[in-house]
Amino acid sequence: MQRESIPLADPGAQMRLYEEPVRAAFDRVLRSGRYILDNEVQAFEREWAAYLCVPHCIGVGNGTDALALALQAVGVQAGHEVITVSHTAVATVAAIEQIGAVPVFADIDPRARCMNPAHLPGLISENTRAIVPVHIYGQPAPMGKIMAVAKEHGLKVVEDCAQAHGATVDGQHVGAFGDAAAFSFYPTKNLGALGDAGAVVTNDPTLADSLRMLREYGWRERYVSLMPGRNSRLDELQAAILRVKLPYLDSNNVRRRLIAAAFTQALRNTTLVAPAQIEGTEHAMHLYVVEATDRPAFERFLNGAGITTGRHYPLAVHQQPAYAGRIRGSQALPITEALYQRLVTLPCYPELREEDVAHISETLIRWSSRSRAKQRRVTSPRAERVIR
């Protein structure tokens, strides 16, 4: 029987697992008659802050707004420069430009695939106000080094944690290192809602106070705007659903890491590059991304075996038509550009069935023995000549 293709993500499968408590949460909100910024949002803000061990969480409409509001709250204004990476979702850069600030790109480290702090000093100008490291794919960026550069130069740090719920550095959750941190709860994230949702977390009570105002027209008290703000509120329904799923985040992350370990094991002794294990960090395995030199053939092989693959992302931000040729730092991103020739995303999420994990692992092994045989055919005539 023809097997169905294994999807790259399956948020529906996850929701089916939680259907009963999600319906109960839905009914509770429905009956409450209060749908915006009420008990569920406050409870989720408390629970998410407690999970991360930070004192303040502010629920907002989505992860892009969370970044933009966090940057505004730390004092970034129109015309200020913000250093980030081009190896990220476009949302990171869109958030910087949303508040009129100017993105600048730093290259990445080839192992972690995150911002390389060694490049930061050369990019800092008199207009620089903040750094946005991205914990891409769930791999924490080197926060100790980034915070040290920021401190030396008087810059603020806003962590982009949209892909890294539950990832840690030296046992501490990402989101607790910067002046503020932004989370997205887009449905496919490690902690996902049933629509758009986001949050900012911070250790600083003054920033938290500003963020509560900024997300709702600058109000501390209803209808009195103390500063210009916007509407980016987390709604009660999404907050209630996130509260249902939060207790399972850690066990789901463990499952993601087990699946990733099986794939990495299958990739041993191959030319494919698996995600690196970076000392002192725990990966959230939001996305399992390998590097393949023969990418189109590798993708065809997997797709032919009924495994959906992706590219996160098809283009780095500085290669996207909307951003090409206009962002400082774009000319010096050799590591980012090399990665974008090779990256391939494999399905890796907690609902993946054991037989799917086995099938993907076996297919990776078959690919590597096939490419080894191909390599032998190519190299053997030359080897023979050398022997003669």
Ligand X SMILES: Cc1ncc(COP(=O)(O)O)c(C=O)c1O
Of 80, 46, 55, 90, which is closest to residue 175 (Cα–Cα)?
55
Which residues, 217 to 276, sit near ligand X by CB under 6 A? Answer: none
Q: Which of 88, 281, 309, 330 binds ligand X (CB under 6 A)?
A: 88
Say how many residues make up the chain.
388
Amino acid identity, position 108: I
- At which residue do the structure tokens 């930070």 appear? 54
Which strands sit side by side in the sheet containing 102-106, from one edge to the other? 56-60, 198-202, 180-184, 156-160, 128-131, 81-85, 102-106
The mark string for 148-177 relative to ligand X (x by CB under 6 A, - otherwise) is ------------x-xx--------------
Q: Which of 44, 51, 62, 244 binds ligand X (CB under 6 A)?
A: 62
Q: Which of 71, 89, 124, 207 binds ligand X (CB under 6 A)?
A: 89
385, burial (CB in 10 Å: exposed 0-12, middle 13-18, buried 19+): exposed
DSSP 4: P
Residue 84 binding ligand X, by CB under 6 A: no
Stretch of 76-84, 86-94, 226-234, 265-273 lying at the interface with ligand X (CB under 6 A): 86-94
Of 304, 256, 351, 259, which is closest to residue 2 (Cα–Cα)?
304
Q: Which of 59, 63, 175, 347 binds ligand X (CB under 6 A)?
A: 63
- Taking the least distance from each CB to ligand X, the nearer of 142 and 267 is 142
Q: Which of 14, 72, 92, 128 binds ligand X (CB under 6 A)?
A: 92
Residue 371 binding ligand X, by CB under 6 A: no
| Stretch (H or E) spanning 130 | strand 128-131
Residue 220 C-beta: closest distance to ligand X, Å: 25
Ramachandran category for residue 208: left, alpha or beta (phi over 0 → left; psi -120 to 50 → alpha): alpha
What token pair was written down for 18? 């939680």
- Taking the least distance from each CB to ligand X, the nearer of 89 and 180 is 89
Residue 218 C-beta: closest distance to ligand X, Å: 22
DSSP 117: G
- Taking the least distance from each CB to ligand X, the nearer of 184 and 202 is 184
Report the DSSP pairing between strands 198-202 and 180-184: antiparallel
Residue 298 binding ligand X, by CB under 6 A: no
Stretch of 9-17, 56-64, 146-154, 317-325 lying at the interface with ligand X (CB under 6 A): 56-64
Residue 201 C-beta: closest distance to ligand X, Å: 14
Q: Which residues bind ligand X (CB under 6 A)?
A: 62-64, 88-89, 91-92, 134, 160, 162-163, 184, 186, 196, 198
